[in-house]
Amino acid sequence: MAVDATQPYDDQNIFARILRGEIPSRKVYEDDFSLAFHDINPQSPTHILVIPKGAYVSWDDFTAKASDAEIAGFVRAVGHVARDAGLVAPGYRLLANTGTHSHQEVPHLHVHIMAGRPLGPLLAR
C-alpha cells in the first residue's frame, strides 16, 4: 500500500524496527545520522537503501523538519556509500519515493541507490 507522505510517523514501520535492531538487515554503513543496508528485493545488481536515524516519514518531512546537521550528515552518507561501493565511475541512480503517486511503500524516508548495469530511462514506459 502506498504511503501518504503527510501522515504522522509510525514507529512500528519496518525501517524503524531495523533501526532498533528488532529485525535484521544486511548493513552496508552506519554513522551518527544514517544507516545503509541492502534492499531485500533488489531491482538492480546493486540496490542499497540509505535512511536517516531520525523519525521522518518522507523526503518532504525530512527537508521541512530535520536539522542542518541531520541533513548534511544524511546527504554525505548517501555519497559516501555510493563512493565506497565503487559506483561513481560506472554511475548510479538515486530515488526517494515520496507519497502516493510515487508508490512509496515504507513510511520512513529512504533513498534508493541503484547501480550495476545500465538502468535505462527514469520511468517505465
Catalytic site positions? 110
Q: Which of residues 93-112 bind ligand AMP (CB under 6 A)?
A: 97, 103-106
What x/- string results for residues 61 through 100 when contact with ligand AMP is judged by CB under 6 A? ------------------------------------x---
State the maximum Cα–Cα separation within the chain, in Å, rounded to a whole number. Answer: 39
Contacts of 100 (CB under 8 A, 6+ apart): 2, 3, 4, 5
> Could you give the strand order of the β-sheet that contains 46-52, starting from the edge strand earlier in sequence?
27-30, 34-38, 46-52, 111-115, 92-95
Between 39 and 60, CB nearer to ligand AMP: 39
**Helix H or strand E encompassing 112:** strand 111-115
4 interacts with ligand AMP by CB under 6 A: no
| Sites of contact with ligand AMP (CB under 6 A) | 14, 25, 37, 39-41, 49, 97, 103-106
